């Protein structure tokens, strides 16, 4: 079942055409990776899906079951890496959108926070300072925060940027586990095409327009996929 549909999306960044007549759907429970070179419009498309950016043309339709339930993990800035809070506080803050006018977290939200941290193996880090963690640990904490913000869809924007190969592999494996074993729908923006071919269900290759959309097996048979090879190094 399609839970997000983008139809004829067109966006300009100032005078530059960022997205040109982009149409595709996101299916419930799939791992879709949006790939392309720098400047291909990947992050712009992510902002359109989230409703942060309104397209000049076209429309995004989100089904009722996932509306307001998309967890977002943006690219980290240097300021965010130095955020002065405990790991538990950072993850708990993912619930803030659901608190409404009530200024305190509920018992259920705190329980959900602990359960999410346990699932991702970061409960032993709960009292540690977020800024004292390694890059890989920080990304796992932010992933937990995004899961607390929403329980249906995860949208990840270049989540492995700046991580070493071993930590990158661990993060990809964790995200695939969330998708296949916990029913999460995952949309990942990435420039790492070989990893996308290994871990994703489908690939959307973007270069302002859609150059390809389909399964990883189909992509591997195209000139685009063949140029990157079907094997992924052990480091990824």
What does the pLDDT look like over 121-180, one tens digit per residue? 999 999 999 999 988 899 899 999 999 988 789 999 998 888 888 888 988 999 999 999
Strand, helix or coil at 177? helix
The pLDDT confidence band at residue 233, using thresholds 50, 70 and 90, is: very low
Q: How many whole angstroms separate alpha carbon 49 and alpha carbon 53?
A: 8
60, 76: one domain: no
Give domain status of residue 170, yes or no: no
Q: CA 53: distance to chain centroid?
A: 17
Tell me the average pLDDT across 114-125: 94
Residue 130 in contact with residue 122, Cβ under 8 Å? Answer: no
User: Where a domain ends, among 108, 127, 151?
Assistant: 151
Chain segment 62-91, per-residue pLDDT in tens: 999 888 889 998 876 655 667 789 999 999
234 against 55, higher pLDDT: 55
Please name the helix (run of DSSP H) or strand (run of DSSP E) that holds residue 54, with its range, or none: none
> How many domains does one find in the chain?
2
Chain segment 39-62, per-residue pLDDT in tens: 899 999 999 999 999 999 999 999
Q: CA 229: distance to chain centroid?
A: 24
Give domain status of residue 166, yes or no: no
149 against 111, higher pLDDT: 111
CATH assignment at residue 214: 3.40.50.300
Q: What is the pLDDT of residue 98?
A: 58
Give domain status of residue 90, yes or no: yes
39, 90: one domain: no
Q: What is the pLDDT of residue 205?
A: 96
Residue 106 in contact with residue 127, Cβ under 8 Å? Answer: no
Give domain status of residue 30, yes or no: yes
Residue 145 in contact with residue 90, Cβ under 8 Å? Answer: yes
Q: How many whole angstroms separate alpha carbon 5 and alpha carbon 167?
A: 32
Give domain status of residue 163, yes or no: no
Strand, helix or coil at 31? strand
Name the least confident of 57-61, 71-75, 106-110, 186-190: 71-75
91, 138: one domain: yes
11, 1: one domain: yes
Give domain status of residue 45, yes or no: yes
Chain segment 12-26, per-residue pLDDT in tens: 988 889 999 999 999
Instruction: Please determine, for residue 231, whether its predicted confidence score (pLDDT) is greater than 50.
Output: no
Instruction: Please determine, for residue 34, whether its predicted confidence score (pLDDT) is greater than 60.
Output: yes
Residue 30: domain span? 1-69+185-236
Q: What is the pLDDT of residue 234?
A: 40
Chain segment 192-209, per-residue pLDDT in tens: 889 999 999 999 999 999
């Amino acid at each position: 079942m399609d839970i997000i549909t983008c139809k004829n999306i067109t966006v300009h960044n100032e005078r530059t055409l960022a997205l040109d007549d982009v149409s595709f759907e996101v299916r419930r429970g799939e791992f879709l990776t949006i790939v392309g070179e720098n400047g291909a419009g990947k992050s712009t498309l992510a902002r359109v899906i989230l409703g942060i950016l309104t397209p000049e043309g076209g429309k995004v339709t989100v089904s009722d079951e996932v509306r307001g339930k998309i967890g977002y993990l943006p690219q980290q800035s240097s300021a965010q890496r130095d955020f002065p809070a405990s790991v538990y506080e950072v993850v708990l803050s993912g619930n803030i959108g659901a608190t409404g006018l009530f200024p305190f977290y509920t018992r259920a939200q705190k329980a959900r926070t602990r359960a999410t941290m346990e699932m991702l193996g970061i409960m032993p880090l709960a009292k540690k300072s977020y800024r004292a963690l390694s890059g890989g640990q920080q990304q796992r904490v932010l992933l937990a925060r995004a899961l607390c913000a929403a329980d249906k869809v995860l949208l990840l924007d270049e989540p492995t940027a700046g991580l070493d190969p071993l930590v990158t592999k661990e993060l990809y494996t964790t995200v695939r586990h969330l998708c296949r074993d916990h029913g999460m729908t995952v949309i990942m923006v990435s420039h790492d095409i070989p990893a996308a071919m290994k871990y994703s269900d489908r690939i959307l290759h973007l270069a302002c327009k859609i150059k390809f959309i389909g399964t990883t097996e189909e992509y591997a048979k195209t000139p685009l996929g063949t140029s990157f090879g079907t094997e992924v190094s052990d480091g990824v």
